[in-house]
Structures are given as structure tokens and as C-alpha cells.
Amino acid sequence: MKYPVQYLWLIPALPLLMAGLGALLKRDQRRLAASLAIGGVAVSWLLSSVAFFTNLSAHPFRQTWSFNWFDLADTTVPLGWVLDPLTAIMLMMVGLLALLIFIYSLGYMAHDWNFTRFFCFMSLFAAAMLGIVIANSLLLLFICWELVGLSSYLLIGFWYEKPAAAAAAKKAFITTRIGDIALLLGMLWLYSQSGTLLFYDHGHGCLEQSSLARLAAATTVGGMALSTAIALLIFAGAVGKSGQVPLHVWLPDAMEGPTPVSALIHAATMVAAGVFLVARAYPLMSAGPHPAALQVITWVGAITAVFAAAIAVAQNDIKRIIAYSTISQLGYMMMGLGVGGVAVGMFHLITHAFFKSLLFLGAGSVIHGCHGEQDIRKMGGLRKLMPWTFATYAVGMMALCGVPLFFSGFWSKDDILRAAWAWPVSTVPFCLGAAGAFLTAFYMTRQASLVFLGKPVDAASPAHESPPVMTIPLAILAVFAVLVGFLGTPAWPWFHSYLNGESASLEPAALIAGPQLALLLLSTVVVGAAFFLGWRIYGKAALQSSREIDPMQKSLPGLFGLLQNKLFIDEIYAATFLRLNAAFARFADWMDRVIWGGAVNALSALTVLCSRLNRSFDDSGINAGFDLGCAELRGAGGFLSWMQNGRVQRYLRIAGLGLGLLLLALIWGCK
């Protein structure tokens, strides 16, 4: 069947409706809340599947539909949605992950007091993310982008009574805000230069040929092409949202939120939104003969990949390790977009979504089983106590490390490395990528050894396996973590062809063609070496008790300490930007109190003074004058009444006097 494009809005609208309904529910209507949320996302995913299958066989491969949102004098602001391979794949991934994680949350959040609120916020998030995916207008994308940021804030700070959680939510929101401002600026600039914010609009869209040619030809400050400048601003938005260095600081702290939140938002979808944005805006990023934006993206991605992987080696919180791993993998995705194009980056995004959410949910299962313990030094021997969790976690770990052939991470990372090797500008990103792969395998081995191998550190309260409602989604995700990889092997690059609008052909020979074989072997060696090293340090001599010092810390205390403290980036920020901000806030407060407040007070004092003057003038001037006048009048009246003594003769005399005077006046007048 065909999914008509103009009804694409139903896909995000359904979870949004469920979020709205969920907001009206009472705290104890848990089953209703969960059913609304899961039902909404399930139906939305079904619609997404229909849309995906429609797009598989659609010609042209991109369909759009737009409408006028409102009119402003002589311009109209249109919004719209697009159904092309990029959208279709993201719809499928987001919908499926949302559904699985919602079901997982039924078990994980079962004992939580605010169960209902959780599902309301999660539905809101799902709606906003789907909105980003279908958006054909940068404006609509931005609106949903902000909504995603809002849901992230609400969900990170879900347990808002914990000060750490509230602070983490604030940090996340503010840090991504910095990126969002750049995105807004880029959006405004793009609108002013190209006249439209629609991506694809029958040749008039801002990502279509005529507009891009114009943008690439114009130059702006510093001799940059205009398209490069706008692209860099848009990329800055992605830097914030996707946790690239230097705006990565919020992601580890975001682990204060519940684990399903970390899985859905901070592994698979929201942080992927930045990568998606770059992929969507790729025509702009790659416009012109020398797309400098792509170079910037590549370098940022490569540095992030290594940076975060190094820090992850020295972390002790199970979720934080995975968080830094996410930052590192996002760096890989950006690097992939920069060196290889949309398909390379997006393939890693899709595979990463599956195995990273698998890892997070597995970590959640571990935490749930260890009764809330999150420090890996206090865990151990869970292999026997939580077999399902261990098995699925192992699949996810191997996918992340890029164990060859069967695991999706291998194929997607290999794509990136191959593209980096072939990059004409420099091979440094390739080296960084390879180093990052080594570190990834190393820290994952460390984590897995400390958590699952050896003996339980605290034998007092034994861990237990999680209920099926949590382990079944883990299993499903594990299956996908393996199978998705086969969609993008060089032998049958279906994924890449689909995204580019071509058809794929099965060519097993491509597996061993050219540098491909060498790279396959290189990545295998790198991963194997890292496994071996990790096993040597952590596997055999697993910690006997939680009080033992980490072996690496013993041998490289300085480096380890530096990495454990996240290279003191947070502290540097606090000492510089945050202090500056605080100083400015104090200044603004002073201005407000003294200057503006002073002005207002002065004005009010002036008004009071005027009114006092008025009153005193009224009292002494008018009242007194009036009183005086009345007193005079009374006096005169008193005099006149004294004259009226009741005796007729006096009246007669006065009449006569008057008569005489009148006569005299007449006489003199007539003279």
C-alpha cells in the first residue's frame, strides 16, 4: 500500500496526542498511562513502516508536501514534510527503539512513584524526535529540535528532588542552548539569503541546486563561501546537541536521568539528531568546489572520538563509561559524514542506535539487578547471576568494539575508516579513528571484565536477573545489533544505495577489493590487541574487593587521574565561562537594582513629591483661600444680618438713603 505524504504528520502527532492525554492523567492511572504511550508509539511505528515500504518503491525517491503556516504582510511562512530514504530509515529506527524502550520501562520504572509522568514525557519526546525526522522546513525542524531539548531536560531532571539531577538537567539545557543559538543564526541567515526555509520545494528549496549554487558562489566574512558560513553555524547546533567537543560536557551528567531515558535519548535518538541535521543539510555542507565545512566537521568529529574514548578508560560509573562511549561514537559519525558522505555517517548512526541502546538497557538491567549500584568496582561475577543480561550485553559490546563480520558495528566503523583513509585532505583523522577504535575496545573490555567476570565483590546481597519485560527487549535489540550490519556490507551496500536513491547489487568481490581487505585486517588486529590488553590487565586479575586500586591507576597515576577527572574540562568551564556569566549576572542585577530600579524609584519619588506639593497647595492655597473666602462671606453676612435688626425704621432709612443717593447720581449723570 501507499502512504500518502500529506498524512506523514500523523506519525509524530500520535505520540504528541498521547503525551497530551497523559498529562491529564492522575498519578495512580499507571496502566492507562503506559498503554496510551506504548499504544501511540506502536501505531506510529506501524505507520512509519508503511511509509518506509512506500518509499522503498517510490519514484521519485523523494516526496514532499508543504502548506502555508501563516502570512506575514507579503511573505508566507510554509511548513512541510518530506518522505525520502533518510526520513524513512530514521522513522523506522526511532519508532522501533521507542517501542522497545517503552516496553522496557514498564519493568524498570515499575516501582517509581511518578510512572505516569514518565510516560507522558517520553511520548512528548518521541513526538518531537519524529517531527525532526519528517521536517521539510528548517523552521519545523528547529521547533521540534527545541521540543526535543525540552523533553530531554524534563527527563534528565525526572527525579528533580535530587540536586544532582536538577543541576544536570539545567546543564544539558544550557549547553545545548549555546548550539541552538548558532543554529538559529544559521537558519536566519539561510532564510535571508535564499528566501525559503523549505529544504525541497520543486526546485525552489534551500537545499536544491539553484539556491546552493548561489550560496556557494557568494563570499562573506573572512573570504569564506556563504554556504560554508551557514553550514558551520548549523553544524554548531549539531555540536551542542550531539555532544561534540567542546559542548560535550552535558552528556555524562545526563546519566542522572533514568536508564531508559539514557538509552532512548542519549544514545539512540536525540544525540543522533545532530548527526541527522548534518546529514539533512549535507547538500549545503558540501556545496561548492572546496567545502570547508566538511573539513571542520571531520576534524571535530575525529578529535571528539579520541578525546571521549580516552576519558572513558578511567571512569568507574557504568553509565558514564557508556556515555563517553556515546560521545566518542558520535564523533565517529560526524567524521563519517565529513569524509564519506551521508550514507557512511547514517549507517553508523543506525547501527550505533541499536547496540548503544542495548548497552544502556543492559546497564540498566545490571543496576536494577544490583539494587541500584552503579560503581563497576563494586560489581563482579554477574555472568552467572544474570545470564540473559550478560549474553545480550556481550553482543552489544562486540558490536560497539567492531568485532569482525557478524556484528554491525564492525561494518559501519569499517566504512568510516575506509572513507577516512581515502580522504584527500589528510590521513590524520584515519589515525585518530584507529586509535579511537583501540581505546573503545580497551575500555569496553575493562568494563565488561569488572562487571561480569570474576567473583561478586559484595557477596552480601546477591544480584538477580531482571524480569522478562526487561530482558526480551534486550534480546530483540541484540538480534538487530547483528542483523542491521548486513544491510551495509561492501558486498551488498543496500543501505548506501538506498540513501543515494540507487539500487544495490550483490558483489561479494567488493569485500576484498583494493584497500578494503587491508582495512578489514587492520581493524581486526586493532580490536584484537585491545581485547588482549584489556584481558591482561583486568580480566585475569579482576578486582578482589572494591577497595583495591585500579591497576592502570597504579601504573600510570598521573594520566589516569587526568582522564578520570575528564581532563578537567568542567572545571575549566566553571573557572572561565561560568564565572564570567556569574559576574555579568551580578552586574545585571546591580544595574537592575541601582540604575533601573533607581530610575523607577526616582520617578515614583518625583510623583509622590508632586502629589505632596499638590496636596499642600490644595490645603494651604486653595482650601485656605476658600476657607478665607467663606469666612469673609460669613463675616459679611454676619454684618448684614447685624444690620437686619428687625426694625422697620432702619430699613426705611436705608431705603431713603438709597433714594437720595440715586437722585444725586441721576442729577450728576444728567449734567
Interface residues with another protein (CB under 8 A)? 640-649, 652-653, 656-657, 659-661, 663-664, 666-667, 671
Cβ-based nearer residue to another protein, 621 or 656: 656
CB 660 to another protein: min, Å: 4
In the chain, the amino acid numbered 330 is L
Cβ-based nearer residue to another protein, 204 or 653: 653
Cβ-based nearer residue to another protein, 501 or 660: 660
CB 665 to another protein: min, Å: 9
Cβ-based nearer residue to another protein, 615 or 653: 653
Report how far residue 95's alpha carbon sits from residue 10's, in angstroms, rounded to the nearest whole number.
13
Cβ-based nearer residue to another protein, 521 or 661: 661
Cβ-based nearer residue to another protein, 580 or 657: 657
- Which helix (H) or strand (E) segment is 71 a member of? strand 63-72
Cβ-based nearer residue to another protein, 223 or 669: 669
DSSP 235-255: HHHHHHHTT-TTS-THHHHGG
In the chain, the amino acid numbered 416 is I
Among 331, 187, 326, 310, which Cα is nearest to 246's? 331
CB 634 to another protein: min, Å: 13
Cβ-based nearer residue to another protein, 372 or 646: 646
Residues 6 or more apart whose CB falls under 8 angstroms from that of 201 comprise: 64, 66, 78, 80, 136, 208
CB 638 to another protein: min, Å: 9
Cβ-based nearer residue to another protein, 558 or 669: 669
Residues 6 or more apart whose CB falls under 8 angstroms from that of 71 comprise: 77
Report how far residue 261's alpha carbon sits from residue 275's, in angstroms, rounded to the nearest whole number.
19
CB 637 to another protein: min, Å: 9
Q: To the nearest 10°, the Cα dihedral for 214, 220, 223, 225? A: -30
Cβ-based nearer residue to another protein, 460 or 667: 667
Among 513, 491, 516, 520, which Cα is nearest to 504's? 491
Q: Read off the C-alpha cell for 540.
A: 585475569
Q: Answer for the pair 299, 235: CB distance below 8 angstroms, yes or no.
A: no
Among 172, 164, 175, which Cα is nearest to 256's? 164
DSSP 341-372: -HHHHHHHHHHHHHHHHHHHHHHHHHHHHTTT
CB 633 to another protein: min, Å: 15
Report how far residue 14's alpha carbon sits from residue 25's, in angstroms, rounded to the nearest whole number.
17
Cβ-based nearer residue to another protein, 202 or 671: 671
Cβ-based nearer residue to another protein, 195 or 658: 658
Q: Answer for the pair 512, 492: CB distance below 8 angstroms, yes or no.
A: no
Q: Read off the C-alpha cell for 3.
A: 502512504
Among 282, 265, 379, which Cα is nearest to 333's? 282
CB 636 to another protein: min, Å: 13
Torsion angles phi and psi, residue 79, rounded to 5: -125, 165
Report how far residue 332's alpha carbon sits from residue 433's, in angstroms, rounded to the nearest whole number.
7
Cβ-based nearer residue to another protein, 468 or 656: 656
Cβ-based nearer residue to another protein, 70 or 639: 639
CB 650 to another protein: min, Å: 8
CB 635 to another protein: min, Å: 14
Report how far residue 482's alpha carbon sits from residue 477's, in angstroms, rounded to the nearest whole number.
9
Q: To the nearest 10°, the Cα dihedral for 551, 554, 555, 561? A: 100
Distance of CA 133 to the CA centre of its chain: 14
In the chain, the amino acid numbered 293 is A
Q: Is 110 left (phi over 0), alpha (psi -120 to 50) or beta?
A: alpha
DSSP 275-292: HHHHHHTHHHHT-SSS-H
Q: Read off the C-alpha cell for 507.
A: 558483489
CB 602 to another protein: min, Å: 58
Q: Answer for the pair 336, 306: CB distance below 8 angstroms, yes or no.
A: no
DSSP-H helix ranges across 594-623? 597-616
Among 428, 439, 436, which Cα is nearest to 299's? 428
Among 94, 105, 117, which Cα is nearest to 41's? 94
Cβ-based nearer residue to another protein, 4 or 656: 656
Q: Read off the C-alpha cell for 255.
A: 546519566
Cβ-based nearer residue to another protein, 4 or 660: 660
Residue with cell 540513501: 499
Helical packing angle, 30-56 and 10-23, nearest 10°: 170
